[in-house]
Chains A and B, each alone.
Chain A
């Protein structure tokens, strides 16, 4: 893996560890309101300043990171699993099943992801998990399409015929023979998707869906303090920078993985 990829992986691991270890690093409770320290600019007491309710921003940044990264990773995992399953079945079975499943995939892919995700989160009770479900429900489609394409090309290869002539059942072929071939591809896509999920999650929590107050996520931190962008910009910059850095790392990682496994998916993405 290229240098960029290794650096990104390292950076991501670092950020994640930092946010898990947050209570050890920052003495402040991210939700502790201190009415006497409203809107203080960064100082030695509060490394990144306080927000308009007196809460320490650095603490909120780290705790929010835990949630934002956690949701994105989890959603990537879930949508990868669903996409793998659907793609496998669709590619292997072919025929009507394939057409039906791919029409569903096309339908989902043709919708703007954000609006679809908003729609799903509205239906579910508000909270972190609804965002995760929304992301997975929208994201599995591109996995499915990719995997199915790969399966189609694999189907031609002789060893499938060989396995079948030996009497293997369909599901056995799928799981034992085809699945391992798809994992690298799926992982690469998962890496890239996770970067997108960070952004979508930020967008959803920016719009007020997802984690409820007082819990901090990077997106909601930007949303609630955007009024102060001019008068107290330390409230708005850190979460945005974190989102960008994390997403960049995921994307660079995805790129590096792509080069390593020499993946091409037709769109150069």
Chain B
């Protein structure tokens, strides 16, 4: 009889469980067919939640992509990467190259309905240089006359930025600097409304207000951002009603959401590349573009073992870069001849150093590399870890022992700046489409350490050639200077230049007019449509 009571309670339990289970599953049945989309919006994917949308503080590509939809600057880059007008209608450069005068359009409004005028630019630019603002982008405006005094706190304004009248802005530089207009296309040079910045304070980074073709309607952190169209945009309203950026760190999820139709464009992750490329349904919907970037293996040239050029040469000849590109990387890039990407190079490429394991072994014997464990630092990215292990195994074949240390991004940068690494893997993405951006920050001796020259490379001739090129605004002489500088750099091997990664995206058949732009700031979201 006792067992009967147990039976009863078990039966009750079972009934409860069935009820609970059905209750749990019912909404699932209802919702599994629903699509997770906002009508009329185009859906893109972000790899991570942007940390800020305040142009003064944005240092990453994700932030830059979104900021391009919300803000404008004086000038911008078009799809051919030429500098064209944005809010500035026209401009003149003085014959000595130090003074830029901009005429501002009169029909541009912020999304809070106020007109944009020249003093807004002075405010926005000074904000970048303001020591109290702690912007990491001060270097963008460093070349402006009076900038250094202002940053030090010795002046109350930047003398080189002058508002001549509400629609005329004049900027003077200390010395002529040919890429200056390019710098003005960058995220840091976007214009922001003073009253909104002061109203929100620190929270302006989550409540950005600009003049752009879209407005931030909603941001649920780590989930999605909704941008809706600004119908009064000065250059004509966008074709789509809005953009939804979904934050999806996991590649598999992104691919599944794409196949379910919840994402409109994705960049294809390596693990799924083969599958899509060989399928009839998706084969035609690929778009690819050679990226303006440089992926390289850098050496610490400031101390042993890699202060010895023979050691560097040995490593560069011990690795078969072409094979890695063709097998592991599945040809999703262009083999590099030097630091400058092919699209920017207007001079003949320097000859690459070939894969030659015998010579490499010889050089290793002569260069004091044997018996040392090389400290190889990388970032905490799976693809980078894979490449590092491949490099490690090539070097092992050559008799060298390599210890890989994987660090999270900020610790990685700190370690490189302290010179802890013997060699490291890193990539450099263009801020603006000028070969100078691949030479000056990476190889000029004034940029040792955090500014970009992490190999501590020093070569006076190269310095001079780069500086000469910077002083010229146009012309073939510039190409000659940069070309010669690159040739010397490739000979000295401060880094082994691997490849320029291609950007490959896949779109839904319903998406029209989607273009990949090699520089994120170009895409203002105006052309794409359904």
Contacts and interface: CB of A to CB of B under 8 A. Distances in A.
Contacts of A33: 389-390, 393
Nearest to A228: B271
Contact of B275 (A208, A213, A227, A231): A231
Nearest to B403: A212
A38 B274 CA distance: 12
A35 B323 contact: yes
Given A35-B324, A35-B390, A53-B389, A212 B380 contact: no
Contacts of B274: 231
B410 interface: no
Contacts of A229: 252
B393 A38 contact: no
B204 to A, nearest CB: 33
A126 B378 CA distance: 14
Most chain A beta carbons < 10 A, residue from B270, B385, B390, B393: B393
The binding surface of chain B is classed by DSSP as helix
A224 B386 CA distance: 9
A156 interface: no
A213 B406 CA distance: 9
A196 B269 CA distance: 35
A39 B269 CA distance: 15
A36 B328 CA distance: 9
B255 to A, nearest CB: 9
A81 interface: no
A232 B274 CA distance: 12
A213 B388 CA distance: 9
Contacts of B392: 213-214
A230 interface: yes
A35 B325 CA distance: 10
Contacts of A35: 323-324, 327-328, 390
Contacts of A231: 271-272, 274-275
Nearest to B271: A227
Contacts of A36: 327
B382 A53 contact: no
B406 A32 contact: no
A157 to B, nearest CB: 38
A35 B392 CA distance: 13
Interface string A233-268: 000000000000000000000000000000000000
B405 interface: yes
B484 interface: no
A52 interface: yes
Contact of B269 (A32, A214, A227): A227
B251 A227 contact: yes
B385 A213 contact: yes
A52 B382 CA distance: 11
Given A213-B389, A230-B252, A38 B272 contact: no
Contact of A212 (B252, B275, B324, B404): B404
B447 to A, nearest CB: 30
13 contacts: A31-B389, A33-B390, A33-B393, A35-B390, A38-B327, A38-B328, A53-B328, A208-B380, A213-B385, A213-B388, A224-B386, A231-B275, A232-B271
Given A35-B323, A38-B327, A224-B382, 15 more contacts: A36-B327, A52-B271, A52-B328, A208-B406, A212-B405, A213-B388, A213-B406, A214-B404, A224-B385, A227-B251, A227-B270, A227-B382, A231-B271, A231-B272, A231-B275
Interface of A: 31-33, 35-36, 38, 52-53, 126, 208, 212-214, 224, 226-232
